[in-house]
């Protein structure tokens, strides 16, 4: 027999007043946390007691929210990655910002699903994607979509490229139906996400051809021309050149205008991976570095890097809106548009791979309105100027060696006391990097460029000051010197 007297439940708090007080405390704590970020160590290892907390079994019953919050303040907040700290220059990340965090909170409260619908959130998404398209100098006929990050933005662009160039209806018939194998081209500095993309697109990693980079770490155009010619002779169809505006290793920028000319002449799709550098287009002192980016057929941006939006948000732009939609839009009987009501709008998921989508646009909208595009441009110039300052400091220190030209905000260098082979230099520099992290002083990463291991500072951080870079130089020399003494 059906039970009729069950108690109906909800996830809303039983006591809104207590929840309000706790939520206010969380906001106060969050502001204090950011305000004092410079005074804390950048990173610290988690003690076992903290690690044990993350091994606890799934709770079956309830627990008061203030106790849960106390676990967060004691276990989680003291052990972040560190990328909001002024001396975090590891990999390539943004430093976040408070307004963006408020945007994420309010987006969750609004609760809308940005798969699409006739609501203010969709209008805001369109407005923001339009603003960014305009910022990047693309015409109104281009279409943009907010995604999780740069990897997904690249996948969107490369999938549009594959489908446009394949010469067969790939959506219907798949890659087996392609009359010729397709090849994509990028410099040997290309980000690894493009190999993931080739895997996902069913083309295989082997169809992404690495073109050598020159001494400036830019794609060698003559070598690219030669590969294209040779592949055509072999019956392979060259499809797309992936130009990088800001390589991960050194921040170098491919010659975008020359690649655009070549793509136009050869009938190839030009995709720009602009995750690190394409936003330089809004930076008044350096925008010339990315001249030609506006000629791309598709473009990937990372807004959690250059705009410091809280993770995660990237942006894909496709010049031909029709081709963009054709690549992703599907029709489903349970998702039909209506002439009025909630479904009386274009589905935003017709331009990407998701169906449900978070409301990422709100944080970007708030940040752009609060500061204006010009300030974000100035901050990008500031990071590049700081990178040049660090470069100068490095070149003045006999024990430090600059390992690549500094073009944007990435500086590659190593501690080199002389008399050590490449292997010993590598071990020494890794140890310096780890000591800097473990002491909570600064975070740089390491990489290998044209066969040489080095440290790498990516200054995409609006909190960094020149004195922070002075400290990096000072501590690198100190730690390096001590390590050399103790090893002798």
Ligand X SMILES: Cc1ncc(COP(=O)(O)O)c(C=O)c1O
Rounded distance between C-alpha atoms, residue 303 and residue 312, angstroms: 8
Rounded distance between C-alpha atoms, residue 41 and residue 81, angstroms: 11
> Smallest distance from the beta carbon of 233 to ligand X, in angstroms?
31
> Smallest distance from the beta carbon of 395 to ligand X, in angstroms?
25
Q: Which residues contact 165 (CB under 8 A, 6 or more apart)?
A: 182, 237, 239, 240, 268, 269
Question: Helix %, strand %, coil % for the chain, to 5?
Answer: 45, 15, 40
DSSP 354-400: -SS---THHHHHHHHHHH-HHHHHHHHHHHHHHHHHHHHHHHH-TTE
The strand pairing partners of 411, in sequence order, are: 457
> Smallest distance from the beta carbon of 368 to ligand X, in angstroms?
19
193 vs 425 by CB, closer to ligand X: 193
Binding residues for ligand X (CB under 6 A):
92, 149-151, 154, 191, 193, 244, 248, 273, 275-276, 302, 314
154 vs 464 by CB, closer to ligand X: 154
Angle at which helix 321-328 crosses helix 150-165, to 10 degrees, equals 100
> Smallest distance from the beta carbon of 248 to ligand X, in angstroms?
4
92 vs 415 by CB, closer to ligand X: 92
152 vs 394 by CB, closer to ligand X: 152
Reduce the secondary structure of 279-298 to three states and give it as a string: HHHHCCCCHHHHCCHHHCCE
Q: Write down the residue that tokens 């394409």 correspond to.
A: 278
Rounded distance between C-alpha atoms, residue 282 and residue 479, angstroms: 38
> Smallest distance from the beta carbon of 241 to ligand X, in angstroms?
15
Q: What is the chain's alpha carbon radius of gyration, rounded to the nearest angstrom?
A: 25
Give the alpha-carbon dihedral of 16, 18, 19, 25, to 10 degrees: 150
> Smallest distance from the beta carbon of 244 to ligand X, in angstroms?
6
Rounded distance between C-alpha atoms, residue 131 and residue 137, angstroms: 10
> Smallest distance from the beta carbon of 19 to ligand X, in angstroms?
34
144 vs 150 by CB, closer to ligand X: 150
273 vs 297 by CB, closer to ligand X: 273
Rounded distance between C-alpha atoms, residue 352 and residue 115, angstroms: 10
Task: Return the structure tokens found at 352.
Answer: 């990407």
209 vs 458 by CB, closer to ligand X: 458
248 vs 408 by CB, closer to ligand X: 248
> Smallest distance from the beta carbon of 305 to ligand X, in angstroms?
7
> Smallest distance from the beta carbon of 363 to ligand X, in angstroms?
15
244 vs 286 by CB, closer to ligand X: 244
Taking CB atoms, the residue at the shortest distance from ligand X is 150
Q: Which residues contact 241 (CB under 8 A, 6 or more apart)?
A: 184, 185, 186, 224, 259, 262, 263, 268, 269, 270, 271
> Smallest distance from the beta carbon of 478 to ligand X, in angstroms?
30
263 vs 410 by CB, closer to ligand X: 410
Residue 202 falls in which region: left (phi positive, over 0), alpha (psi -120 to 50) or beta:
left
Rounded distance between C-alpha atoms, residue 421 and residue 75, angstroms: 42
Rounded distance between C-alpha atoms, residue 476 and residue 439, angstroms: 12
191 vs 360 by CB, closer to ligand X: 191
> Smallest distance from the beta carbon of 465 to ligand X, in angstroms?
24
129 vs 248 by CB, closer to ligand X: 248
> Smallest distance from the beta carbon of 309 to ligand X, in angstroms?
11
Rounded distance between C-alpha atoms, residue 16 and residue 10, angstroms: 13
Are 206 and 236 spatial neighbours (Cβ–Cβ below 8 Å)? no
With b for 16 or more beta-carbon neighbours within 10 A and e for fewer, the 315-328 pattern comes to bbbbbbeebbbebb
Of 250, 280, 189, which is closest to residue 411 (Cα–Cα)? Answer: 250
């Amino acid at each position: 027999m059906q039970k009729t007297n069950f108690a109906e439940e909800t996830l809303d708090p039983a006591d809104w007043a207590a929840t309000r007080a706790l939520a206010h405390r969380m906001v106060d704590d969050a502001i204090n946390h950011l305000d004092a970020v410079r005074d804390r160590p950048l990173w610290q290892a988690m003690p076992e007691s903290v690690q044990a907390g993350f091994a606890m079994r799934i709770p079956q019953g309830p627990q008061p929210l203030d106790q849960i919050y106390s676990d967060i303040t004691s276990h989680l907040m003291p052990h972040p990655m560190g990328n909001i700290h002024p001396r975090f220059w590891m990999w390539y990340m943004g430093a976040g910002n408070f307004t963006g965090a408020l945007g994420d909170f309010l987006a969750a409260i609004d609760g809308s699903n940005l798969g699409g619908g006739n609501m203010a959130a969709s209008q805001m998404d369109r407005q923001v994607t339009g603003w960014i398209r305009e910022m990047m100098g693309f015409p109104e006929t281009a279409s943009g979509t907010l995604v999780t990050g740069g990897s997904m933005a690249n996948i969107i662009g490369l999938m549009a490229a594959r489908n446009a160039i394949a010469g067969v209806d790939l959506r219907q018939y798949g890659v087996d139906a392609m009359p010729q194998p397709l090849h994509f081209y990028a410099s040997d500095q290309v980000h690894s996400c493009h190999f993931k993309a080739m895997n996902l697109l069913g083309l295989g990693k082997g169809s992404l051809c690495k073109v050598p980079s020159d001494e400036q770490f830019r794609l060698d155009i003559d070598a690219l021309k030669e590969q294209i010619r040779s592949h055509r002779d072999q019956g392979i169809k060259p499809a797309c050149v992936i130009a990088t505006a800001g390589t991960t290793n050194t921040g170098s920028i491919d010659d975008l205008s020359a690649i655009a000319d070549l793509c136009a002449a050869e009938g190839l799709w030009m995709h720009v991976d602009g995750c690190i550098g394409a936003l330089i287009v809004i930076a008044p002192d350096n925008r010339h570095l990315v001249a030609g980016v506006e000629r791309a057929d598709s473009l990937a941006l990372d807004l959690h890097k250059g705009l410091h939006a809280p993770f995660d948000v990237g942006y894909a732009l496709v010049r031909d809106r029709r081709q963009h939609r054709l690549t992703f839009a599907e029709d489903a009987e349970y998702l039909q548009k209506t002439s009025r009501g909630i479904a009386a709008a274009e589905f935003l998921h017709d331009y990407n791979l998701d169906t449900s989508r978070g409301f990422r646009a709100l944080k970007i909208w708030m940040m752009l309105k609060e500061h204006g595009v010009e300030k974000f441009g100035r901050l990008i110039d500031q990071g590049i100027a700081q990178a040049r300052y660090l470069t100068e400091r490095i070149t003045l220190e006999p024990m430090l060696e600059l390992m690549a030209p500094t073009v944007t905000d990435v500086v590659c260098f190593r501690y080199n006391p002389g008399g050590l082979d490449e292997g010993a230099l590598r071990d020494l520099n890794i140890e310096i990097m780890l000591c800097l992290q473990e002491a909570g002083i600064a975070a740089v990463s390491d990489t290998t460029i044209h066969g040489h291991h080095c440290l790498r500072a990516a200054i995409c951080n609006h909190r960094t000051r020149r004195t922070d870079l002075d400290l990096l130089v000072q501590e690198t020399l100190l730690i390096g010197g001590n390590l050399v003494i103790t090893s002798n």
